[in-house]
Amino acid sequence: MNDALLDWYAAHGRDLPWRRTTDPYAILVSEIMLQQTQVARVIPRYGAWLERWPTAASLATASVADVLGEWVGLGYNRRALCLREACSVVARDGWPEDLTELPGVGAYTAAALGAFAFGRDTVALDTNVRRLFGRLGRRLAPRPGEGPVFNQATIELGALVCRARAPRCSACPFESCCEWDEDPETERRPAERFEDSNRWVRGRVIAALAAGGELPAVDPDRLERALDGLVRDGLVQRDGAVVRLG
């Protein structure tokens, strides 16, 4: 099954910039950016980020305001601060053997970083890969030395073919042995509009402060809740009526 997977990836895998490097810092940047953010949005931001801060040491010395300003539009701004904190640890102590010791690095990110940067035969289980293995009815594993390409292949297959909705089963290398019975998905409640969420207000605040403008004109109660959370998370500072980034 591994051969079928790797053959499929060789023919269909996308050429993404973070797949052309084994630099742990560059791969960590890509993994943090890609958390709940579409690939198309990340690609140009990834290049700009590495041009501005090409090493972990350079990011570690950046100001919170600069880091948040560069992150605007990628969402979940706390990720940017965790990335900066992780780079501070690396700049001081080097890369730990247990990568989950780095701030903001959980089991998936540690497995991905271990495979792509350090050549480990770990299995990076993101949402797409878990769905792929669940439908397939088995969990695959890399053979010795396959860790980097195996994980790229499973992540790619889950993202492009074994999709949550409208999976492209006829394009899957495992079509003949997959155990998925094509049960209809359970009914979902209507999703909250993003513009009605606290995340939307928080993002507007960060973007406005990064641009040097005034706070956004939104409902005062929503703005106050967003500001309180941003202060608690260390993303903004507040001194009376004066609000500024980190």
Catalogue the active-site residues.
31
How buried is 57 (Cβ within 10 angstroms: 0-12 exposed, 13-18 middle, 19+ buried)?
middle
Side chain identity, residue 15:
D
- Integer Cα distance of 23 and 229 in angstroms: 34
- Integer Cα distance of 147 and 112 in angstroms: 9
What is the secondary structure of 120-162 as a DSSP string?
-------HHHHHHHHHHTS---PPTT-HHHHHHHHHHHHHHTS
**Pick from 127, 149, 143, 138: nearest CA to 177:** 138
Yes or no: say if 210 and 72 are a contact pair by the CB < 8 Å rule.
yes
Yes or no: say if 235 and 246 are a contact pair by the CB < 8 Å rule.
yes
Determine phi and psi for 94, rounding to 5 degrees. 85, 180
Neighbour count for residue 121 (Cβ, 10 Å): 16
Yes or no: say if 230 and 223 are a contact pair by the CB < 8 Å rule.
no
